[in-house]
Amino acid sequence: MNAAFFFARIPSLNQPFQLKKIKKVNAKTNDAVALLKIFGRITVNNPFQQELA
């Protein structure tokens, strides 16, 4: 599977609302796995929902 599929699920981190979500769970902005846990379930680009295994 293409990595772009996953990274398209991470919104722009220039938005204060998104940074607030990241700080709430003590994640780092450069930790792709943590960001996918926070933002990766739903995206406007794709109708499919992802769940953690």
Residue spans of the domains in the chain: they are 3-39
Indicate the pTM of the whole model: 0.66
**What is each CA distance from 2 to 8, 36, 39, in whole angstroms?**
11, 15, 18
Question: pLDDT category, 46, cuts 50, 70, 90?
Answer: low
Amino acid symbol at 24: K
Label residues 9-36 b or e (16+ Cβ within 10 Å = b). Answer: bbeeeeeeebeeebeeeeeeeeeeebbb
SS3 6: helix
Share of the chain above pLDDT 90, in %: 21
